[in-house]
Amino acid sequence: MWTFLNPALLWAAAAAVVPLLLHLFQRRRALRIPFSTLRFLKLAQKRSARRVRVENFLLWALRTLLVLCLALAFALPVLRLKGFGGLMGRTHRDLALVLDVSYSMGYESAQRSTWEAARAAALSLVEGLQKGDRVCVFLADDDVTPLVEQPVADLQLVLGMLRAQRPRPTPSQLAPATLAAIAALQKSSRRERELHIITDGQALPWRGFRREEATGTGPEAGAGGAIWDAGRSVRDLPVFVTLVGPPEPRNSFPVSVAVEPLVLMAETAGTLTLRVGHTGPPQSLAATLLIDGREISSVTLEARPDEIAELQLGIPPLKAGVHTAQVKLPPDGLSLDDTLHFLLRVRESLPVLCVGTAEETFFLTRALHPGDRAPGMVTVRQQ
């Protein structure tokens, strides 16, 4: 039975009328020229006209056939067979679905939601299955979560479980989930098998799939090596990848913070160094530092794609204790990474152990505590 993986593009077949219009508009017009002794010219004209009509008809047919073939190719026709005896019969399928549920799938823009598009694609695949077909689902997060570990024929159950899913606050690895899906499909026999991967096109989840990564070390390399070293049945498995993310997502995110000095003393100012990453077109944005819920300072930076920008924010003198702090960036399509939370520990004093006699540690104690105690000084006590 013929089916189409992308039937929405069948409308492009309407372009087949364009060659017909060109054929009609380009018909030759007869030009009358008075001339004597026309008997031989009329005979030649009739032969030439017949030849031109045949050539034009063949040219129109070839153009129309080309447009129809292009439309069918983009619609991705698939002929499903069930053995030689059932050449035109319907084949039962086992379908394995790998769904990326990393935090980047929560990206939202004015035009679309990446997660909604991914879930709609997954639901469409399951709804396209027929009676007797089976499906299993694996979620790709920081490892792999089997949602439906073995192919099942209860499609309504799978649809309900897919509708209940949400993106998770973790990165994703597609290789472990792909291996789990391949293992589930290998257990099916005499069935048409397909593997579908739905992700947003980020590069990080695909680590471990390349041969040079497969020869390395670590869990990603091991997964990639297992995929490359799989048997012939796995290499012949049809794999379909659906990319649902925007082609150029705009997202800014705090990468890390560093505090100077390393040990903050009470009533002593400090400096916070913030590193910010960015994807998408360049833009200016403001980074704001908040301590204990109070805005301390804000600095504007020029964020450029695939570059890490550094800027410094001032930390005012604080009282001794632990203070909650956060760095905020302007809201964008991925709100999960707009804010970085951390703690600032401010010490009242810093104990120092000096081993030795008073004479031996005299210069060290004077360097640590040159005079009367002042705010932020190191307290030295000899025992």
Q: Residue 85 pLDDT more than 60?
A: no
Query: 93-243 — its CATH code?
Result: 3.40.50.410
Q: Do domains 93-243 and 251-347 have the same CATH topology?
A: no
Asked whether residue 381 carries a pLDDT value surpassing 70, the answer given is no
**320 or 28: which carries more pLDDT confidence?**
320
What does the pLDDT read at residue 228?
Answer: 47
Pick the closest to residue 313 from 352, 257, 369 (CA basis).
257
What was the pLDDT predicted at 233? 46
Q: Which of 191-205, 224-238, 270-284 has the lowest mean pLDDT?
A: 224-238
User: What pLDDT score was predicted for residue 219?
Assistant: 45
Report the alpha-carbon angle 105-109-115, nearest 5. Answer: 25
Q: Is the pLDDT at 26 greater than 70, yes or no?
A: no
Cα 356 from chain centre: 61
Average pLDDT over residues 11-28: 68
Helix %, strand %, coil % for the chain, to 5? 35, 30, 40
What single-letter amino acid sits at 83? G
147: burial class by Cβ within 10 Å (0-12, 13-18, 19+)?
Answer: middle
CA distance 329 to 331: 6
**Rounded to an integer, what distance in angstroms lies between the CA atom of residue 153 and that of residue 131?**
8
The more confidently predicted of residues 62 and 374 is 62
pLDDT classification of 46: cutoffs 50, 70, 90: low
Whether 224 shows a pLDDT value over 50: the answer reads: no
User: Which among 263, 271, 277 has a CA at the least distance from the CA of 347?
Assistant: 263
Give the residue ranges of DSSP H helices in 137-210.
Answer: 155-163, 174-186
pLDDT at 92: 82
So what's the pLDDT on residue 379? 63
| CATH number belonging to the domain at 251-347, selected among 3.40.50.300, 3.30.420.40, 3.60.10.10, 2.60.40.10 | 2.60.40.10
For helices 17-25 and 39-74, what crossing angle results, to 10°?
Answer: 160
**What are the sequence ranges of the domains in the chain?**
2-79, 93-243, 251-347, 349-383
Please compute the mean of the pLDDT values over residues 266-274 and round it to a whole number: 91
The CA distance from 251 to 331, in Å, is 9
Over the stretch 175-190, which tens digit does the pLDDT of each residue have?
899 999 998 988 877 5
339-343's contacts with Cβ under 8 Å and 24+ in sequence apart are 339/254, 340/254, 340/257, 342/257
Region at 367 (left for phi over 0; alpha for psi -120 to 50; beta for the rest):
alpha
CA distances from 108 to 2, 39, 140, 242 (A): 36, 77, 20, 18
Q: Is the pLDDT of residue 116 over 60?
A: yes
> What is the structure's pLDDT at 212?
53
Taking residue 240's Cβ as centre, other Cβ atoms within 10 Å add up to 13
Name the more confident of 287 and 8. Answer: 287
Instruction: Please indicate whether residue 382 or residue 14 has the higher confidence score (pLDDT).
Output: 14
Q: What is the DSSP letter of 29?
A: P
Nearest to 343 by CA among 267, 291, 293: 291
Model confidence at 370, pLDDT cuts 50, 70, 90, reads low
How far CA 198 is from CA of 102, 106, 222, in Å, comes to 11, 14, 22
What does the alpha-carbon distance between residue 138 and residue 177 come to, in Å, rounded to a whole number? Answer: 6
